[in-house]
Chains A and B, each alone.
Chain A
Amino acid sequence: MLKVKNINTYYGQVHALKNVSLHLREGEIVTLIGANGAGKTTTLNSLSALIPPKSGEILFNGAPIASLSPDRIVELGISQVPEGRQVFKPLSVEDNLELGAYLRYRRREKRSEIRKDLEQVFALFPRLLERRKQPAGTLSGGEQQMLAIGRALMARPKLLLLDEPSMGLAPLVVQEIFAVIETLRREKGTTVLLVEQNARAALKMADRGYVMETGKVILEGEAAELLENRDVQRAYLGRDKKEIWER
């Protein structure tokens, strides 16, 4: 469904992505792990056309998308849930969700269809329903994350890009959010590219994973394999050499 071939992305002079390649099959959950500054967020932003790559190719369902504008990317069915939620704080929860469907309003899609998706998001995250009239800025971190995911879902994405959904959240809330991601895949067949610092949780849920370091993909494989990989364990799963040795 998505093929990224050798993209190179720059922030001014800084070469942030070096020949990054990856792919996602329909219905897969793939995770991108790595330390801070490895280029995970940049990869997502290149896909969303916020920072278009200088060279390389991005194919979505066979069509090149690397030179499109951010709104065209959303229109094609790729929605990003950005790092740090980025909800529209002064606007109400409901307005935030409606804006997720902005392009569908522009296309003059039936209001009843959009309403139906709104109800679905509320069913997925009942806490948002309780707070539908509240300004998004007054929600807790976890609720804002739910809102950011709900907002992305309102566009009916085929591919969901999630950037560190667990950042700064309590473990229980993280579990809740991860459970929703799995539900989405099961019930709607949504393909997910998940960027996480919490590598263990991400690999447990994902089918496959890529490991990034200093702008390069250094390792890829089945999630279960990566969980067992000693380098990954040492570098990202917090196990030191001794523990690995003892097993």
Chain B
Amino acid sequence: MELHQQILQYLLSGFSTGAIYALIGFGFAIIYNATTIINFAQGEFVMLGGMLSYFFLSVVHLPLPAAVVLAVLATTAVGIAFERLAIRPLKNATPLSLVIITIGGSILIRGLTMLIWGKDTHALPSFSGSEPIDIGGATILPQNLWIFGITIVIIVVNKLFFNYSITGKAMRACATNRRAASLVGIDVRRMVLFSFVISSAMGSMAGIIIAPLTMTAYDVGIMLGLKGFCAAIIGGLSSGFGTVLGGLLLGVLESLGAGLISSGYKDAIAFVILLLILFIRPQGLFKKADSERV
């Protein structure tokens, strides 16, 4: 394979993992904007998506579409329960203690999953065959196309929701000014709950579409969660386009680094980027300067 073909190959697979990171990153950003906390249980929603679809598919023997839908619904239910039981009861907690609670929650979810389904790695079948498709010398799997397609659909729906529905606008209002939001009659706690609903649903979807490529296990949420967090940080924790670009950038750099340097550095690359961003541009790579007037 020639170099340019190799690079094309790395780009394609980088975009595909990057899309996953972007979806996970969105979950971080949405909850951050509603609550100003980083939800470190986000990765567990991703893991639950994959593990639950494995469960519904291979243990309950449901058809794939039904298994996927049930897995998303079940993960969303976990997200709701998490908000209700772990976040809402703590009225005057500082963001820091809430963040620590999310870490505790993630350990709990991971532990329970391990107790129920064991430590084994499970595979999910590809959605539509595994015959590689040739693109200019590089190859791509049908599952990659599913990843691109589903990610684009989710991002578009997300965008429409936040820009055109009154609930979406209310969530943005809460993110910018909670006091003013309650003064127009927006129930802020309800918006926080919605943010958990959306994030857990999105996270589980990410976990499901990537499972056929990378397999799934009780502990995949840690790494995927951290990568998603990294994508969100690159995007400045906005739930907009920045996070998508952040995810794609991270995915591409990772796959180029792994392919051209050494696959041993794959995870290190993400965290070096994370640290660089936090040191040099903590507001994110793509954030415009504030154009507000007082």
Chain A residues in contact with chain B, CB under 8 A? Answer: 48, 50, 69-71, 74-75, 79-80, 82, 86-91, 95, 98-100, 102-103, 105-106, 135, 137-141, 151-152, 155
Contact = CB atoms under 8 A, between A and B. Distances in A.
Interface stretch (B6-14, B78-86, B134-142, B180-188): B180-188
Contact of B176 (A74, A79, A89, A103): A89
B219 to A, nearest CB: 38
B164 to A, nearest CB: 10
Interface string B79-120: 000000000000000000000000000000000000000000
Given A87-B177, A138-B291, 4 more contacts: A75-B185, A79-B183, A135-B291, A138-B292
Contacts of B183: 48, 50, 70, 74, 79-80, 82, 86, 152
B181 to A, nearest CB: 8
29 contacts: A69-B187, A70-B183, A71-B182, A71-B187, A74-B183, A74-B184, A86-B183, A88-B177, A89-B292, A90-B172, A90-B176, A91-B169, A91-B173, A95-B169, A99-B166, A99-B173, A99-B181, A99-B184, A99-B186, A102-B170, A103-B184, A105-B166, A106-B166, A137-B292, A138-B291, A141-B293, A141-B294, A151-B184, A155-B184
A103 B185 contact: yes
Contact of B180 (A86, A95, A135, A138): A86
Contact of B186 (A71, A79, A138, A139): A71
- Give the interface SS of chain B, mostly helix, strand, loop or mixed: helix
Nearest to B185: A74
Closest 7 interchain pairs by CB? A74-B185, A137-B292, A86-B180, A70-B182, A103-B185, A105-B166, A71-B185
Determine the interface band of chain B, counting residues with CB < 8 A from chain A: 20 to 34
A7 B233 CA distance: 46
Nearest to A89: B292
Nearest to B190: A71
A149 to B, nearest CB: 12
B236 to A, nearest CB: 13
Contacts of A88: 172-173, 176-177, 180-181
A137 B187 contact: no
A245 B292 CA distance: 48
Given A95-B169, A141-B294, A82 B184 contact: no
Contacts of B181: 88, 99
Contacts of B172: 88, 90-91
Among A69, A82, A99, A105, chain B packs the most CB atoms within 10 A around the CB of A99
Contacts of A71: 182, 185-187
Contacts of A137: 291-293
Nearest to B174: A88
B4 interface: no
B281 interface: no
B61 interface: no
A50 B179 contact: yes
Contacts of A89: 176-177, 292
Given A75-B185, A89-B292, A137-B293, A82 B180 contact: yes
A102 B176 contact: no
A71 B180 CA distance: 11
Interface string B138-161: 000000000000000000000000
Contacts of B169: 91, 95, 98-99
